[in-house]
Structure 1
């Protein structure tokens, strides 16, 4: 009996088509998987480089100093005061963002005009204290002249002592190019006013002073966009009382130096009136310190009923002396930021 080969051939053809179909399906599945992985990588990269916002910042309370702790909201006289966490998160997001790229940091310095009195700016005014300032209100005394790029004749404005900046040029030249991090714009500054911090420092310690609500909090970064709240305390900032007392200026400053006792003079004299313990200087003569004494030989005062009430300091930020000590021992010089908000 003669067998037909057609069924066999047909079966082989079906098998071939079936193998080709399976191969095509596998290839299509592999392509979809590869495309999905590529999209995932792109999404992850986009998320990695995306600027952080206040909504991204996570705050966790892990109090390391637990005396005189204030609530998120609390009563003062007939009003309610708060810690402005939304505004604080905006500042922390800003700190996180500018540290995501390698930068060479520096701090502007001219405490007590030690690096030379700044020249008069092109457009100056006499402020409420009868002293020369720029049109934005920054005084000439203890400040740094900021020149427009290419114009070294007359400065345009002043930069506050203690301001954090980014170096844009080598620090071996006479005039250094900087970008403001606590103020806007790119500027040129004489080298003698600029102290280089470096490109490896991380600002993981932040102290926020609120001059509206008269409080202070300390925070430490645990990872990007995640910060631990270490203390929440009453504070007293500077008052407007010419010619000696000035408001604590708002902005972002670097902790520049520490003094176990900061001696201060009686207004209008060269006589030492007393001292403030555990002083942490951040701008001009502005310190975060403990309760001041009225005599240089007086014992340290721990607390004052005026803390957290109304501004009454000369420019400084008064704290309970034990809280000032906590900051003194915890915060690292030239590696910690003081952010003053209103």
Structure 2
């Protein structure tokens, strides 16, 4: 039922998009509720004084949860410390790992020593959050105590908070706690002092930058492009027409949205079975009929027929120089510059992807064209046409989904909306999905990507 409501609301927004772009002096009455928000209707403004490009720079709510939740979590966790981080850099972590010895009361089961695989060159240019490739995310709501040894009553070295990330050294077998004898040896910076100790497996989860999988994804796209130029689906905000609807839901059986998508038919017949194929996804034109392009969709591993209005044959990805790979499983990402010597890693950092909910959607898997850059775009309060905030340094890659910096909610002063300024850091970035389709970054990294990526030769790949 909720899916049906939001689908109707999205269509209504499309029909009245000119009203969405009108900047209002007075924001909507009242504060939005915490968490995910139910939709509501809004009256249509009488005038539209903005150009089309300005109207298009307004998107649906990009937050799966109210951004105030993330700000509150950050404030509680960080206290008075600005941009508090506890993990080590890759260099610090590897130096420590090479010098630590094993302890008699544990058996080392695995050592975490991820390095860049052959074919990826270290050309990192972004160092704002310099972190090790292997890390441990604290998921225990009450935080956790790092102990001197892997036993429940060992001396406490220091404490870490919920959603902290610490550098990961080893997985070990120690004394059992809650039916598990698995512990993780970790390291962190505490008041500029490097400390190490043990966390029980129940207080968090290990993560890392899966560079080999990222490399495979980039190389696959590189090979596809070597076989000939690629096109992409174009139906941002239904600019080329809404596809037929599959029942009363906003997504198909594969999780791809009705909104911003085109129909991909199994046959060159609009009466045949179809699935949604999202804006921005890369395809190869194999052939054509009077009404359809016969395309191969690498992401879907199959061939389909797409009505011609959804593909511009004159706009292609013919050269691949810049690629951002987003790992929605581990909630991190890396960006690569391609040359004849392989892949150059230019940045790696944490990220937050979309969450599937009643009023939000996952960041969909696949290979996409880097379509458009916007220094900022505004977004609406859920279910309304009221502009409530903006996101800085944005790279659009599918529909209204962007890689962007920390969202900023407008404040109200004397009845007018006021921009409080950009926000650099959220403690929730790199933890669990919390946005709506978009990929949230630290603002400084979003700005780095914004200035670095070349849309003409750039792509975004989302992996699981």
Match of 2:313 in 1: 196
Question: 1:198 Cα shift?
Answer: 5.4
Match of 1:106 in 2: 231
Match of 1:148 in 2: 266
Secondary structure (helix, strand or coil) at the match of 1:196 reads coil
Question: What does the per-residue CA deviation read over 1:149-187, in whole Å, with 9 as the maximum and x for residues that have no partner?
Answer: 4334345211111100112236x9532221112222222
Q: Return the match for 2:242 from 105, 117, 121.
A: 117
Question: 1:334 Cα shift?
Answer: 4.1
Mapping 1:1-342, distance limit 5 Å: 58-77=119-138, 78-101=204-227, 103-120=228-245, 124=246, 126=248, 131-169=249-287, 173-196=290-313, 201-223=318-340, 226-243=342-359, 245-295=360-410, 297-342=419-464
TM normalised by structure 1 equals 0.75
d(CA) in 1 for partners of 2:363 and 2:256? 12
d(CA) in 2 for partners of 1:340 and 1:216? 9
d(CA) in 1 for partners of 2:316 and 2:433? 37
Question: What does the per-residue CA deviation read over 1:225-261, in whole Å, with 9 as the maximum and x for residues that have no partner?
Answer: x101000111111122212x21111111111111111
* Contact 1:57/1:93 (<8 A) preserved: no
Structure possessing the higher radius of gyration over alpha carbons: 1
Secondary structure (helix, strand or coil) at the match of 2:448 reads helix
- Specify whether residues 142 and 291 from structure 1 end up closer, same or farther in structure 2 by C-alpha distance, changes over 3 A only: same
- Specify whether residues 197 and 233 from structure 1 end up closer, same or farther in structure 2 by C-alpha distance, changes over 3 A only: farther
Match of 1:45 in 2: none
Question: What does the per-residue CA deviation read over 1:265-304, in whole Å, with 9 as the maximum and x for residues that have no partner?
Answer: 1112211111000111111221100011111622111222
d(CA) in 1 for partners of 2:444 and 2:314? 29
* Contact 1:105/1:196 (<8 A) preserved: no
- Ranges of 4+ aligned residues in structure 1 off by more than 4 Å: 197-200
Question: 1:324 Cα shift?
Answer: 0.7
Match of 1:21 in 2: none
* Contact 2:233/2:280 (<8 A) preserved: yes
Question: What does the per-residue CA deviation read over 1:32-79, in whole Å, with 9 as the maximum and x for residues that have no partner?
Answer: xxxxxxxxxxxxxxxxxxxxxxxx961111111121133211122132
Secondary structure (helix, strand or coil) at the match of 1:76 reads strand
- Specify whether residues 330 and 96 from structure 1 end up closer, same or farther in structure 2 by C-alpha distance, changes over 3 A only: same
Question: 1:138 Cα shift?
Answer: 1.9
Question: What does the per-residue CA deviation read over 1:212-236, in whole Å, with 9 as the maximum and x for residues that have no partner?
Answer: 2111110011216x10100011111
Query: Mind listing any 5+ residue stretches in structure 1 that lack a counterpart?
Result: 1-55
* Contact 2:256/2:364 (<8 A) preserved: no
d(CA) in 1 for partners of 2:279 and 2:419? 30
Secondary structure (helix, strand or coil) at the match of 2:425 reads coil
* Contact 2:255/2:364 (<8 A) preserved: no
- Bigger share in helix: 1
d(CA) in 2 for partners of 1:201 and 1:293? 36
TM normalised by structure 2 equals 0.56
- Specify whether residues 248 and 207 from structure 1 end up closer, same or farther in structure 2 by C-alpha distance, changes over 3 A only: same
- Specify whether residues 147 and 200 from structure 1 end up closer, same or farther in structure 2 by C-alpha distance, changes over 3 A only: closer
Secondary structure (helix, strand or coil) at the match of 2:330 reads coil
d(CA) in 1 for partners of 2:261 and 2:118? 33
- Specify whether residues 199 and 262 from structure 1 end up closer, same or farther in structure 2 by C-alpha distance, changes over 3 A only: closer
d(CA) in 1 for partners of 2:371 and 2:316? 17
Secondary structure (helix, strand or coil) at the match of 2:447 reads helix
Aligned residues: 277
- Specify whether residues 155 and 258 from structure 1 end up closer, same or farther in structure 2 by C-alpha distance, changes over 3 A only: farther
Higher relative contact order (CA 8 A, sep 6+): 2
Secondary structure (helix, strand or coil) at the match of 1:203 reads coil
